[in-house]
Structure 1
Amino acid sequence: MPFNTDALASMVLDDTVKSFPFGQRMAMGDVGRKHWNVLNGDIPLPAAIIRSDALMHNSRWMKQFVAERGALIAPHVKTTMCPQIMARQIADGAWGLTVATVHQMRVCRSFGAERIILANQAVGDAELDAIIAMVQSPELDFMMIVDSVEGVRAVADAARRNHLQHPVQLLIERGYKGGRTGCRTNKLATELAIQIRSTPEVRLIGIEAFEGLIRAKTGSQEDAVAAFVSDIAALAQSFHRQSLFETADPIISAGGSSYYDIVLEQLSKTGLRVVTRSGCYVTHDSGIYHTHHDRLKSAVGELDGLRRALEIWTYVQSIPEPGLALLTAGRRDCGTDAGLPVPLLLANSCNRPHDLPPECQIIDINDQHSFMRFDPSLNLAYGDRIGLGISHPCTTFDKWEIIYLVDDDYNVQEVFKTFF
């Protein structure tokens, strides 16, 4: 069954959902016909919006960037958990979808995802039984991560317990000392590959790694990432020489949203199928990934790169002292794990947003408020609307059940639904 979001059109929304207009109740598919505008009072603030043109641009940009390097992309949809955005990514050539949990896998499968990477080692009988139930379908091309003999045995036990008639496809995860999960050395990864070869309920189809959390002890961050990914490439080539892969077309996969250019450059040398898994590119941000992308554009000579698509719009609630404004969005609305929100845009009585000066800064944030410093000479008043950029989209998306897709004038075209 192809990926299909038509069922969302009949889902009913009402004002128990954050940012949905008060007193309104309607099917999601009818929202675009209401001609609401985010900046003229139709939508309660704070509200999360996605700029339609930027979203489409980013999805197509990444498709081209990856294709030009002979690779594939299986975007990590934990970022958005939004089926409408997943549909856009698939339409723009995504090879598959990456998830972090069995819950996320079930959401993707319920909308018809036909190829899924579970980029974590599953734990627990309930989780593994749910995986095997989904893998029973011949329509699903599924692969999952392992980094231990215990993990392999648990998958094999679940396959036997549920009478699965074909082996579960596995990717060995290679990690690094002090990092997250994954075999710490190529030697340990090779020993695990041999274990998989001797276990009929599973088969090894590739290698996976995540380089996004590496911290350089000496030298540049980019050099540390390149060295790690080069080690992964060597491991894959070693597996290939030893005939440890149980497929004619093995996969090598890495690449978060910070260093996918380095990953693709290094892994393309292996001759294997390269799959990158960036998730944040589709909406981009105004923080850490914006900074990384500036480096990437400089490195590859890219002029028209990714664009900010996600914004949080909020009111100026109070100006209790000169140069300090309290905004109506806080930690309940904006992720702060990778930095405080960035005040970008001001819309006042004219409803036409314009750029805020760089001197405007969020200096602190509470559950429901942000503290914004500004030059007292700025014409700022109670009731003005502020558009905030965020850093690291993953931890902002999960704060919103619905997000509005808008055009350049902030007219609502559609409402997106998330499943966290």
Structure 2
Amino acid sequence: MPDTPPEGFATPALTVDRDVLERNIGRMARYAATGGFALRPHAKTHKCPQIAELQLAAGAVGLTVATIGEAEVFAATGARDLFIAYPLWLDEGKRDRVAALAANVRLSAGVDSAESAQRLIGTGALAVIEVDSGHHRTGVQPAEAGTVAKAVRSLGLDVEGVFTFPGHGMAHDPDATPTQVRLHAARDQEKALAEAADSLRAAGFEPNVVSGGSTPTAALREDGVISELRPGVYVFNDAMQVALGSCTIEDVALSAVATVVSVPAPDRFVLDAGSKTLGADVNGWARGYGLVPGYPGAMITQLSEHHAVVTLPLDTRSPRLGDRVTVIPNHVCNAVNLADELLVVRDGRVVDRWPVAARGANA
């Protein structure tokens, strides 16, 4: 992240430090190579074909996506192996879209019931059984993976393996440290996936993939269970990851650049970047609505659609009207989905503009 916000463009805008981005991608790729597991990054974070190309060139086996729409964007821009990492409920239109995708790329999709799997029949998509490892969103209990796999196979579908999302690795726990929360989720993930893989084998399946996910738990993986990881946020990182300790500020590649439009008091200034730029995510681990690294101790205490109110500690110099200020969003995925393009910066200068091609591809 540059020390001084770059100039030469209108604010608010999202900027990406190309050097930090490439360093993040390379670090995770080396971790996968030395750890002996496949890397399938979650593209819902960046929604950008140029970044997907960098990840694939660094050794990723394919991409994870959140929706059929995201899969369509990345298939159209060159990705050949895609995993939709959620259970789908296909109507006729969505079924036709999945079939069209599977005719051109290797496509797999999450399944946690025979009923939803039935709607995949004839599309050509492979099924991956989702198990709940503690996040309590989607997924069957690990011991039930084999039973679901048999039901899916009885429909004539191929079962690839099992996957989970340890999203509780970001949950706030007042009785634990962030590292303890991340470690607990990582161990939950491994236990659940090991049990699910054993359940598949007992049902007569040899899983080709045992897939885990999430940036906060990625570095805490233990050998022996997981054959694939699906982190997403690591390419950019954000204020949440800094607060969780899964990265440092030096590892943050994406930031919002905003202009000071009002200084109503010595301890307060207002930026032209609100929830429609930064997103509105809050979490117990991160203070306020984003991180303002140029003003230590500052906190975004109020967020409206187009403005952010930043409160300063006592005896801290306030910026002047017209100054540019860098803000690290709490949750980078939401911030990116609000932007039309990412301004690529190197040595403090904008060198490229990358469209957020999958922005709004939510169906």
Normalised-by-shorter TM-score class: 0.7 to 0.9
| AA partner of residue 61 (structure 1) | R
Q: Which runs of 4+ in 1 moved over 6 A?
A: 216-219
Decide which of 277, 288, 305 is 1:367's aligned counterpart.
Answer: 305
Alignment match, 2:119: 154
Residues 374-412 of structure 1: CA deviation (Å, up to 9, x unaligned): 245515211111111122210110111011001122x11
* CA spacing shift, 1:76–1:414, aligned 2, 3 Å: same
CA contact (8 A) 1:61 1:305 kept: no
Stretches of structure 1 that go unaligned for 5 or more consecutive residues are 1-36, 298-303, 346-355
Hey, what's the Cα distance between the residues in 2 that align with 1:364 and 1:217?
Answer: 24
Q: Which residue number corresponds to residue 386 of structure 1?
A: 325
2:274 is matched with 330
CA distance in 2, matches of 1:192, 1:269: 24
Indicate the SS of the match to 1:103.
helix
What aligned pairs does 1:239-388 form with structure 2 within 5 A after superposition?
Answer: 239-245=200-206, 250-262=208-220, 264-265=221-222, 268-270=223-225, 274-285=227-238, 287-292=239-244, 294=245, 307-339=251-283, 340-345=289-294, 356=295, 358-374=296-312, 375=314, 378=317, 380-388=319-327
1:45 match: secondary structure: coil
User: Aligned pair in 2 of structure 1 residues 177, 326: CA closer, same or farther (>3 Å)?
Assistant: closer
Call closer, same or farther: CA 1:408–1:338 in 2, change over 3 Å.
farther
Match of 1:8 in 2: none
Secondary structure, aligned partner of 1:95 = coil
* Contact 1:281 1:306 (8 Å CA) reproduced: no
> Is the 2:145–2:199 Cα contact (8 Å) retained in structure 1?
no
Contact (CA 8 Å) 2:189, 2:212: kept in 1 or not?
no
1:130 aligned onto 2:97: yes
Q: Select between 108-117 and 170-179 the one with higher mean Cα deviation.
A: 170-179
Distance 2:163 2:32 in 1: 17
Equivalent in the alignment of 2:286 = none
Unaligned runs of at least 5 residues, structure 2: 284-288
Task: Choose which of 103, 108, 113 in structure 1 pairs with 2:79.
Answer: 113
Which amino acid is the alignment partner of residue 269 of structure 1? Answer: G
CA gap of 1:178–1:76, structure 2 versus 1, over 3 A, is closer
From the superposition, tell whether residues 146 and 217 of structure 1 become closer, same or farther in structure 2 (CA, over 3 Å): farther
The C-alpha deviation readout for 1:67-86, integer Å capped at 9, x for no partner, is 11111111110111011111
Deviations 1:110-162 (A, max 9, x none): 1121100010112122112210122123xx22111100010111111xx1xxx
Relative distance call for 1:244 and 1:413 in structure 2 (3 A) is same
Name the residue aligned to 2:193.
Answer: 232
Change (3 A) 1:176 1:62: closer
Partner of 1:212: 167
Provide closer, same or farther for how the CA distance between residues 184 and 306 of structure 1 changes in structure 2, counting only shifts above 3 A. farther
Counterpart of 2:150 in structure 1 is 194
Q: Percent identity?
A: 24
Letter in 1 for 2:187: A
Over aligned residues, Cα RMSD in angstroms? Answer: 2.4
Superposed CA offset, 1:229-252 (max 9, x none):
21221220332344224xxx6100
**Secondary structure, in 3 states, of the residue corresponding to 2:74?**
helix
1:217 offset after TM fit, Å? Answer: 11
Cα distance between partner residues in 2 of 1:83 and 1:143: 20
Q: Which amino acid aligns with 1:116?
A: L
Q: In 2 relative to 1, CA 217–332 (structure 1 residues): closer, same or farther, beyond 3 Å? A: closer
* Residue identity matched to 2:232: G
Q: Residue type matched to 1:284 in 2?
A: N
Residues 71 and 237 of structure 1: CA distance in aligned 2, closer, same or farther (over 3 Å): same
Give the drift of 1:320: 1.4
One-letter code aligned to 1:193: A
C-alpha distance 68-176 of structure 1, shift in aligned 2 (>3 A): closer
- SS of 1:315's equivalent? strand
Deviation at 1:38, TM superposition (A): 6.7
SS at the partner of 2:14? Answer: strand
1:45 aligns with 2:15: no
What CA distance in whole angstroms lies between the structure 2 residues aligned with 1:379 and 1:226? 45
- SS of residue in 2 equivalent to 1:98: strand
In the superposition, the TM-score normalised over structure 2's length comes to 0.87
